[in-house]
Amino acid sequence: MLEAQGIWHGFGSTEVLRDVSVKVRPGEMVALCGPNGAGKSTLLAVMAGDYAPQQGLVHIDGQSVTGLPPDVLARRRAVLEQTPTLSAAFTVRELLALGIPRDVPPERANLLISETLRDVSLLDRADDNCLILSGGQRHRAHLARVLVQLAASDRACGYLMLDEPTASLDIAHQIATMRIARRAARLGEGVLVVLHDLNLAAAFADRVVLMHRGRVVADGTGTDVFTAARLSAIYETEIVVEEAMDGRPRIVPVYDPDTHPAQRA
């Protein structure tokens, strides 16, 4: 289990996280939602072991993340940054190889890379220079790099941490990315994903953690967490929650109060 307990953290005089506790179980996909500045990315960084929180503990399978050496940590969790970058003209295959530790034999590494590329539908671009891919494909290649890092690990399950993986993608790529993450959860990985799109969170996550001003204001299924009153309050704009055909909540912001059907009704 990946677990943050009573996390307090701040930069300078600004408190960013105030007594935050979050759990991610193996095989579970948890969405971290909330307005800008709620502290989602900072929480993700703390849970990834980027830095030690000022107060509180982060444990990964019972061990403190800040106590683990980076190479050991890398076998237990993989992180996709919000805007992954690459300064060298690597091929897609070479990019994925960056995720694989040195001690994995080359044949196994190649196999893992090919399988992962197939899973993300990039096998036909394997030997292309990353820099000639489209933005969406490049993002997916980085996602594959993160996936292969966990796949190469000898541990039964790991934790996948994605920071706004859909932010710069078109609708088709957003859905493709979320399906890939969902699939990882089905295969046993714990997935923690920061999402701005509340509908994607409601559609794909097992559990939603809603944050506001450094605190967790709700933690539960999408249906429990996403209520119109709560969302309208923390986003400070009017939001309507409907029930979609599949029974999941559908979150609709009110663009123009005068014309919105819910208002007129």
For 237, residues 6+ apart whose C-beta sits below 8 A from its C-beta are 253, 254
Asked whether position 88 contacts another protein by CB under 8 A, the answer is yes
d(CA 24, CA 40): 15
Least Cβ distance, residue 142 to another protein (angstroms): 8
Asked whether position 94 contacts another protein by CB under 8 A, the answer is yes
Residue in 32, 46, 65, 78 binding another protein, rule: CB under 8 A: 78
Residue numbers 49-68 binding another protein by CB under 8 A: 50
DSSP state of 124: G
For 23, residues 6+ apart whose C-beta sits below 8 A from its C-beta are 1, 2, 3, 4, 30
Task: Judge contact between 4 and 194, C-beta under 8 A.
Answer: no
Q: Which is nearer to another protein, 87 or 259 (CB)?
A: 87
Least Cβ distance, residue 71 to another protein (angstroms): 4
Residue in 102, 156, 246, 261 binding another protein, rule: CB under 8 A: 102
What are the tokens at 224?
């429990």
**Cα–chain center distance at 201:** 10
Residue numbers 126-165 binding another protein by CB under 8 A: 127-129, 131-132, 149
Residue in 17, 74, 143, 198 binding another protein, rule: CB under 8 A: 74
Residue in 47, 79, 198, 210 binding another protein, rule: CB under 8 A: 79
Could you tell me which residues are beta bridge partners of residue 55? 8
Q: Which is nearer to another protein, 91 or 227 (CB)?
A: 91
Residue in 3, 15, 19, 81 binding another protein, rule: CB under 8 A: 81
- CA proximity to 165, closest of 40, 58, 13, 26: 40
d(CA 188, CA 194): 19
Q: Which is nearer to another protein, 95 or 234 (CB)?
A: 95
d(CA 26, CA 48): 16
Question: Which chain residues interact with another protein by CB under 8 A?
Answer: 48, 50, 69-71, 73-75, 77-79, 81, 84-91, 94, 98-99, 101-102, 127-129, 131-132, 149
